[in-house]
Copies of this chain bind each other. A is one copy, B any other.
Amino acid sequence: MSSKKILDLDTIVLNDEQNEVVIIDQTLLPNELKYLHLKTLNDFWDAIYHLKVRGAPAIGIAAAYGVYLGVKNSLANTYEKFYEEFTKAKEYLASSRPTAVNLFWALDRMEKVVVNNKNKELEGIKKLLKEEADKIKEEDIWVNKSIGEYGLSLLKPGWGILTHCNAGQLATAKYGTALAPIYLGHEKGYNFKVFADETRPLLQGARLTTYELLMAGIDVTLICDNMASIVMKNGWIQAVLVGCDRVAANGDTANKIGTSGVAILAHNYGIPFYVCAPTSTIDMNCKTGNEIPIEERKPEEVTEKWFNKRMAPEGVRVYNPAFDVTDAKFITAIITEYGIAHPPFEESLKKIFEIKQQKQKNKI
From residue 21 to 79 of chain A, which have CB atoms closer than 8 A to chain B? 29-31
Copies of this subunit: 2
CB contacts (< 8 Å) of A228 on chain B: these are 261
CB contacts (< 8 Å) of A303 on chain B: these are 206, 222
Chain A, 308-332, contact with B by CB distance < 8 Å: what is the 0/1 string? 1111111111111100110000000
Evaluate contact between A220 and B324: CB separation under 8 angstroms: no
Cross-interface CB contact of A233 among B225, B258, B324, cutoff 8 Å: B324
Evaluate contact between A200 and B226: CB separation under 8 angstroms: yes
Interface size on A, residues (CB 8 A): 60
Evaluate contact between B310 and A308: CB separation under 8 angstroms: no
Evaluate contact between B257 and A226: CB separation under 8 angstroms: yes
Cross-interface CB contact of A227 among B29, B203, B268, B321, cutoff 8 Å: B321
Cross-interface CB contact of A222 among B203, B219, B257, B318, cutoff 8 Å: B318
Evaluate contact between A229 and B261: CB separation under 8 angstroms: yes
Interface SS, A side: mixed
**A163 CB–B CB distance under 8 Å:** no
**A9 CB–B CB distance under 8 Å:** no
CB contacts (< 8 Å) of A229 on chain B: these are 258, 260-261, 264, 324
Cross-interface CB contact of A265 among B211, B225, B264, B310, cutoff 8 Å: B264
Evaluate contact between A302 and B210: CB separation under 8 angstroms: no
**A1 CB–B CB distance under 8 Å:** yes
Q: Shortest CB–CB separation between residue A1 and chain B, in angstroms? A: 7
Evaluate contact between B312 and A210: CB separation under 8 angstroms: yes
**A207 CB–B CB distance under 8 Å:** yes
CB contacts (< 8 Å) of A307 on chain B: these are 306-308
New A-B contacts (8) at CB < 8 Å, excluding given A206-B303, A221-B319: A30-B310, A30-B316, A31-B313, A198-B312, A207-B312, A210-B316, A226-B261, A261-B261
Query: Ordered nearest first, which 10 A-B pairs have the shortest CB separation?
Result: A226-B258, A229-B261, A30-B313, A225-B226, A200-B224, A230-B324, A308-B308, A206-B312, A221-B317, A229-B260
